[in-house]
């Protein structure tokens, strides 16, 4: 089971204001030989998303939620990044509503649901299942016990794209609080 340190209710404000000392405790990696070093990162998590070209809606949402600067500068960030296709799967009225400036706080909460204030690796996820607190203070369930990694009801389609300040896991669906995958029996 993934271990976490629960965020307080002020997690979103602390994400913006606190130095790196406020990071969550990452799940313990299984004891094994040291893996080969990852290739050099291509910039921050925001730079990685921009370079891909597949995350224009996510980047727009981060901008509108006033999270871009924080995510680009804060260390130890993991982003579960829905692609433009994942956003396109939402009803157009819902996308328009979320991106309306009148709904800025709701959008911010939704975007923080896609962010962890810890650098999570595939090795930490494989073979494990359990909740972990998001930057918004709401838990998501990560399941690495199957053939593919699941994050709530989304599937990771590309794992652990390295960045200088964390990593990006590409997912096939926009995450929504309250739509978590049902708990496994005995979990």
Per-residue pLDDT tens digits for 84-137: 999 999 999 999 999 999 999 999 999 999 999 999 999 999 999 999 999 999
Query: CA-CA distance, 36 to 172, in Å (whole number)?
Result: 28
| Mean pLDDT (whole number) for 154-171 | 96
Longest dimension (CA), the chain: 51
Structure confidence at residue 41 (pLDDT): 53
Whole-prediction pTM? 0.77
Domain borders along the chain are 11-17+43-171
Cβ contact 55:150 at 8 Å: no
The pLDDT mean for the chain works out to: 81
Cα–Cα distance measured from residue 11 to residue 135, given in angstroms and rounded to the nearest whole number:
6
* CATH superfamily name and code, 11-17+43-171: FAS1 domain (2.30.180.10)
35-39, 50-54, 118-122: least confidently modelled range: 35-39
């Amino acid at each position: 089971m993934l271990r976490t340190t629960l965020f307080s209710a002020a997690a979103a404000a602390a994400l913006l204001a606190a130095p790196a000392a406020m990071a969550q405790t990452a799940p313990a990696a299984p004891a094994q030989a040291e893996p080969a070093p990852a290739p050099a990162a291509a910039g921050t998590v925001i730079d990685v998303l921009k370079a891909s070209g597949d995350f224009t809606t996510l980047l727009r949402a981060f901008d509108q939620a006033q999270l871009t600067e924080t995510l680009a500068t804060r260390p130890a960030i993991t982003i579960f990044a829905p692609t433009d296709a994942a956003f396109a799967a939402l009803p157009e009225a819902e996308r328009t509503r979320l991106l309306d400036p009148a709904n800025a706080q709701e959008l911010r909460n939704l975007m923080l649901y896609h962010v962890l204030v810890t650098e999570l690796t595939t090795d930490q996820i494989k073979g494990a299942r359990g909740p972990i607190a998001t930057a918004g203070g709401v838990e998501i369930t990560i399941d690495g016990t199957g053939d593919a990694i699941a994050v709530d009801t989304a599937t990771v389609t590309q794992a652990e794209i390295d960045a200088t300040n964390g990593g990006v896991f590409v997912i096939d669906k926009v995450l929504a609080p309250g739509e978590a995958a049902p708990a496994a029996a005995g979990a």
